[in-house]
Amino acid sequence: MTFEARSQSGESAPEPFRFAPTFILDLIFSVAYVGLFVRAWARAAGGPEIGLGGASFAVLLVLCYAGKVAIIAFLNRGGGDARHYVISSGLVTTGLYAYSRNPTYLLTLVQCCVWSGLLLYLQIFASFEPLVLAATLLLPVAFFLIHDLWIIRREDAALRAAHPQEFDAYAAKVGRWFGAKR
């Protein structure tokens, strides 16, 4: 049905697709890492060992990205919608959410560390470059601080408002980033 036909029949137009702000932030970090990778790779000089090591990091990165898609799909099956911050009717506390209140962010932090590991690995085969080294060390810290101090606190407040008793009990048992609390 076209938009004009929907308008005449009283149906509203579908909401346009949009990316979640956290996806955009993840994309910014990924683009920064890719830029640093291209810079470091161009300066690196090595034989097959650089390719084999790089391939190992690439496999880990693909697993991180695929894992995030799987986690978001699991959340969506629970009734939430990460793109629109739609909170599910019931608090999702199973699967990876039984071990981390924010498994997607935790996996993205791991992804940042894998990217940083790859960049450090490439530094072995390249001349020392302080910019790459500084960014390699600071990007995971920046990701953690932005999410821990701003994004997760806002999401926790929204979940607490929607599910006050359930969220407090859940937060008492499961850590913000990882692990069971005592």
55-114 residue pLDDT tens: 999 999 999 999 988 988 887 776 665 555 555 677 888 888 899 999 999 999 999 999
Cα angle: 136, vertex 96, 174; to 5 degrees = 90
Grouping H, G, I as helix, E, B as strand and the rest as coil, residue 30 is helix
131-155 residue pLDDT tens: 889 999 999 999 999 999 999 999 9
Phi then psi for 81, rounded to 5 degrees? -145, 105
The contacts of residue 29 (CB under 8 Å, 6+ apart) are 108, 112, 139, 143
14-46 residue pLDDT tens: 667 677 788 889 999 999 999 999 988 888 887
pTM of the model: 0.82
Query: Looking at the DSSP assignment, which residues form a beta bridge with residue 86?
Result: 81
